[in-house]
Amino acid sequence: MSVSSAHFKPGHPITDVTINYGPPTVLGRFFLEANAACEAVGIKLTFGTFEELLAANTLNRASWKPITSMYDHRLSGQNLTPDKAFCIFGRNAAGEIVATQAARLFTLTSTSLYDEFTSLRAFYDRPESSAQPGETCTVTAETTKATNGRVLVGGAAWYRPDYRGIELSAWLPRISRALAYTRWSTDVTTSIMVEGIVKGGVMARSGYRNIEWAVDIKNSTVGDVRCAFVWMDPERLIDDLREMLAAPGAEVDTSILQRRA
């Protein structure tokens, strides 16, 4: 296993990544440990394409509602290119996709995440022609108004029912935001979580501590949803990874790690 590629290439393991930003001993060890933890429960983690993500979503509709347009390549394809977004798949021994996680980078120099949400630009390349009739996004989470710079928005998380309860919801969100941070030096990592997911404890398991209500989306491709806005800064991101590595059993061989600028 090596740390060798500057790009998140579809089909490649998540450990095939260059550590450009952040502490290499923490990030490198975390990627190896996270990968090993998932392999221990029969899951192989690789990068994938957004076409594959949509296909997996369609195939598993019984346990997975339609993905938001933010990660649908038919509606947001211009902003789901490899320089701005990536997705991770967990596959079982049969090669089936049984877990997913996506992430998208917003580079906001003259606008805020609030502006991107309320204008629907976060959800469509061309909201004026692609948005659903009467679709709106109303944001009362005030923090979004000051959220700018290199902003990561994570989402499209799903775990097939027979693969739930094995800590994938703890590992995959952390993997995606650590990958994004070391590639893009993100200023803030965020997500919008539907109310039921928050109540189910996913927010806590995924390491977020900051939460603010609400992002209310009406008449969208997934209907009406009320979401919480959650976020963390880079310091919290790295501290959270250190906490994961401090857990019992987090021992890997760090001699194979290298840093390449």
CA distances from 222 to 65, 67, 226 (A): 7, 7, 11
The C-alpha atoms of residue 243 and residue 87 are separated, in whole angstroms, by 24
pLDDT band at 256 (very low <50, low <70, confident <90, very high): very low
Query: Can you give the pLDDT at residue 248?
Result: 59
Q: List, for residues 87-109, the tens digit of each pLDDT value.
A: 999 999 999 999 999 999 999 99
Sequence letter at residue 109 = T
Nearest to 83 by CA among 68, 112, 104: 104
Q: Which domains does the chain have, with CATH numbers?
A: 24-256 (3.40.630.30)
Three-state SS string across 119-164, please? CCCCCCCCHHHHCCCCCEEEECCHHHHHCCEEEEEEEEEEECHHHC
Order across the sheet with 136-139: list the strands.
Answer: 44-48, 85-91, 97-108, 149-159, 188-194, 223-232, 210-220, 136-139
pTM confidence score: 0.90
Give mean pLDDT, residues 146-161. 97
Q: How far apart are CA 141 and CA 18, in angstroms?
A: 34
Residue with more model confidence, 7 or 48: 48
* Packed helices 24-40 and 168-184: angle between N→C axes, nearest 10 degrees: 150
Give the pLDDT confidence of 187-224 residue by residue, as tens digits: 999 999 998 888 887 777 888 999 999 999 999 999 99
> Over the stretch 220-252, which tens digit does the pLDDT of each residue have?
999 999 999 999 999 999 999 999 999 755 544
What is the spatial distance between Cα 118 and Cα 72, in angstroms, rounded to a whole number? 18
Q: Which of 165, 156, 44, 50 is nearest to 94 (CA)?
A: 44
Q: Provide Rg for the chain, Cα atoms.
A: 17
What average pLDDT score do residues 5-22 get?
Answer: 85
